[in-house]
Amino acid sequence: MSMFSLPSLSLVAVGLSGAVLLVLLLVLHQLQLLSGPAVRGKHHAWKKDEDPALVSDSSPLLVALDKVQFTLLSMLSRRISPVLFPPPLTDLNFYSVEEHPGVSGLVAVTIDDCFCRQNDPKRSLMPPVRAMIKKSGHRVTFFTTLQYAKGEWREKEIREFVKDGHELGNHCKDDREYDNEDVEVFASDLDETSSFIKKMCGSAPKWFRAPSGKISPGMSAELKKRDMLHVMLDGYANDPHIPDARFIASTMLRAATDGSVLIIHMPESGFREWCFEAIDLLLKGLKAKGLKSVTLSELKEAAEGKKTK
């Protein structure tokens, strides 16, 4: 499911200069709703039915519509994201360099649905992803879905990511939306995931991202009790549904600027493999733009005037 719910957008909130683009986005959204099923691949117990696993699972028409939609969104990202993910339910979408000059030259690349949903180490791309990021010199934040992170072979690789200076964020226990769940269920799954992350890196996570960005006031209250921050984005290219690495990277790079928070998803063999190349192109493109990815905590420290490595 896309994190963007376009019908909820206010034309006034994004300014008159964005009104024409938003009308186009709304038209595209309605066309998508009328175009039938987005995914035509096989059912797998380890993924949502609406998420394509392979390029061949996707509808070419819906992919084309998505590309237009997210190209437009990337042009308005800093106006739209605070409207889609407003405070107080969301604590951070990006840092403005005008308000926080310390973030000049810095962004935070964040990777969701980590680390491998298929219960087979041969399907994991954790080692090549780690090698790719290490070679790039960037640091990222991995948003950990507990059901995709437990297990000896996964945990061994996760500890290597932590050794490399990367950060673990909490993406809850299951890959599903919690905003309509009893808050007690959410709190239990949140704490179980945080306990796992503490076991992996020695400290409880500071950052949470709600699956699909769907967060309720009750969920927000539970986060505040634990001094956790809900973080969303200002750069995203709907990579789960657009199996085109070059498009994903170029769209995110268009939005990326000082203080950006960028979201992409974890690839694995036979599922979202295109994200592997997209991450590589994104990291190289950031360097070409004079931007360095750091962890979310490092970006926050830079925004507060503290030095970042």
1 domain-assigned: no
308 domain-assigned: no
Q: Where are the beta strands (DSSP E) in 60-174?
A: 106-114, 140-144, 167-170
Of the chain, the end-to-end C-alpha distance in Å amounts to 36
Asked if residue 10 has pLDDT above 70, the reply is no
Ranking 12-26, 151-165, 282-296 by mean pLDDT, the lowest is 12-26
Strand pairing category for 261-265 and 207-208: unpaired
Is there a contact between 176 and 146 (Cβ–Cβ < 8 Å)? no
- Give residue 54's Cα distance to chain centre: 20
Phi then psi for residue 61, to 5 deg, are: -65, -45
- pLDDT, average across residues 120-148: 98
161 domain-assigned: yes
Residues 49 and 92 in one domain: no
Q: Report residue 306's pLDDT band, with 50, 70 and 90 as the boundaries.
A: confident
Last residue of a domain, one of 19, 49, 78: 78
Q: Give the pLDDT confidence score for residue 35 in this predicted structure.
A: 47
Rounded CA-CA distance 221/228 in Å is: 10
Whole-model pTM above 0.95? Answer: no
Residues 197 and 241 in one domain: yes
Rounded CA-CA distance 95/103 in Å is: 7
Last residue of a domain, one of 78, 105, 132: 78
> What domain count does the chain have?
2
Last residue of a domain, one of 78, 109, 131: 78
Q: Report residue 59's pLDDT band, with 50, 70 and 90 as the boundaries.
A: confident
Render pLDDT for 84-112 as a digit per residue (tens, 0 to 9): 999 999 999 999 999 999 999 999 999 99
Domain that holds residue 28: 6-78
Residues 98 and 223 in one domain: yes
Is there a contact between 4 and 29 (Cβ–Cβ < 8 Å)? no
Q: Which residue has the tokens 């072979």?
A: 153
Longest dimension (CA), the chain: 53
Q: Give the pLDDT confidence score for residue 51 in this predicted structure.
A: 82
Residues 107 and 229 in one domain: yes
Phi then psi for residue 99, to 5 deg, are: -90, -25
Is there a contact between 169 and 142 (Cβ–Cβ < 8 Å)? yes
Residues 73 and 175 in one domain: no
Render pLDDT for 188-241 as a digit per residue (tens, 0 to 9): 999 999 999 999 999 999 999 999 999 999 999 999 999 999 999 999 999 999
Residues 264 and 128 in one domain: yes
Residues 60 and 94 in one domain: no
Give the single-character DSSP code of 11.
T
- Cα distances from 182 to residues 6, 87, 192, 196, in angstroms, run 26, 22, 16, 22
Residues 55 and 119 in one domain: no
Residues 138 and 246 in one domain: yes
309 domain-assigned: no
CATH of the domain at 188: 3.20.20.370
Partners of 261 in beta bridges: 108
Render pLDDT for 149-202 as a digit per residue (tens, 0 to 9): 999 999 999 999 999 999 999 999 999 999 999 999 999 999 999 999 999 999
Rounded CA-CA distance 104/91 in Å is: 20
